[in-house]
Amino acid sequence: MNRYLKNVFILFLFLTFLSSCEKDEEEEDEYIGNWVELSDFEGVARTDAVAFSIGNRGYVGTGYDGYYRLQDFWEYNPEKNTWTQKADFQGAARNGAVGFNINEKGYIGTGFDGINKMNDFWEYDPELNVWERKADFGGSKRYAAIGIAINGKGYIGTGYDGNYLKDFWEYDPESDMWIQKTSVGGSKRKDAAVFVINGKGYVSTGINNGVYIDDFWEYDPGTDIWTEKNSISDATDEDFDDEYNITGINRVAFSLNGKGYLATGGMGVVGSIVWEYDPVTDLWEQKTSLEGSSRIDAVSFSIGNRAYVTTGRSSNSYFDDLWALDPDDEYDEYD
């Protein structure tokens, strides 16, 4: 073989090797879970809103559009893939509030109106399409808190009132009263994430005085006890957490079919990565990333076997696109 042909052959082998490596990397980057883009949220693009589901409908409202705090409130019908504007939220326009569903009614409380931190608390009746003010949140006025509902009770905790917080409060809709419960384990935090699996709450992420929090806690409302779970960072000498990079802020959280999920957000930057938590193994697995723009301060709600993510912002854009995740489906780039 002459020198020219030898060099061509060596180059061919090298390019074949590179191609093989690229294919291996692509295969390693393919995760389970499929995103489908749906009808855009019909309100103005915004960030730091609230969302929850009631029955087979999703609801999104409040937030900040870059100029104004907002009070509008919208209902999503997944069967028709359409949005309908509902009665405006009756509290002051705000961002950084929390929202959840108890017994087929929606609740919104706390937040920031641009000047004042808030502790008012409101109930939404979807059948009557009316808002009613309820007993003010029992803790201090705050924003960037967490809010969930478990077994017919509401819970609000953590956040920022001028100081970072870790207190935790329970709301009983029958008595319209708040009771302080055991504080969240570990660090104080704001901009954390929370989801519910099988009657227990799970709190993770957030920031405390410039430090991103990597502890992870399970709350049992029956015993009022917090139990620490595996860290959400590479915190051990074992292999299971070597790829964990889940710490951050302004992530969205939701649960589906006995698993918990964190998506978007990040450590001072926008993100699109999705992580799935299995409470049986106490382990996380990366899923297919959000196919829309990377973002922080988005919102999510779950209906049936799908989770929906919408709104949020990047450094210079506010979003109104809507994406649905089927976490157990194979990825399809053409959906």
SS (H, E, C) 295-322: EECCEEEEECCEEEEECCECCCCEECCE
What is the pLDDT, as a whole number, of residue 141?
Answer: 98
Quick check: 284 pLDDT over 80? yes
What is the pLDDT, as a whole number, of residue 100?
Answer: 98
pLDDT, tens digit, 9 for 90 and up, residues 223-241: 999 999 999 999 999 999 9
pLDDT, tens digit, 9 for 90 and up, residues 5-16: 444 344 444 434
Distance CA 92, CA 47 (A): 17
* pTM score, whole prediction: 0.90
Give percent of the chain above pLDDT 70: 91
Average pLDDT rounded to a whole number, residues 59-88: 98
What is the pLDDT, as a whole number, of residue 331?
Answer: 83
Q: Are 48 and 297 in contact, with CB atoms under 8 Å apart?
A: yes
Please classify residue 273 by burial: count the beta carbons closer than 10 Å to its beta carbon, then call 0-12 exposed, 13-18 middle and 19+ buried: buried
pLDDT, tens digit, 9 for 90 and up, residues 35-69: 999 999 999 999 999 999 999 999 999 999 999 99
Average pLDDT rounded to a whole number, residues 83-103: 98
Give 32's contacts (C-beta < 8 A, 6+ positions apart): 287, 288, 327, 328, 329, 330, 331
What is the pLDDT, as a whole number, of residue 273?
Answer: 97
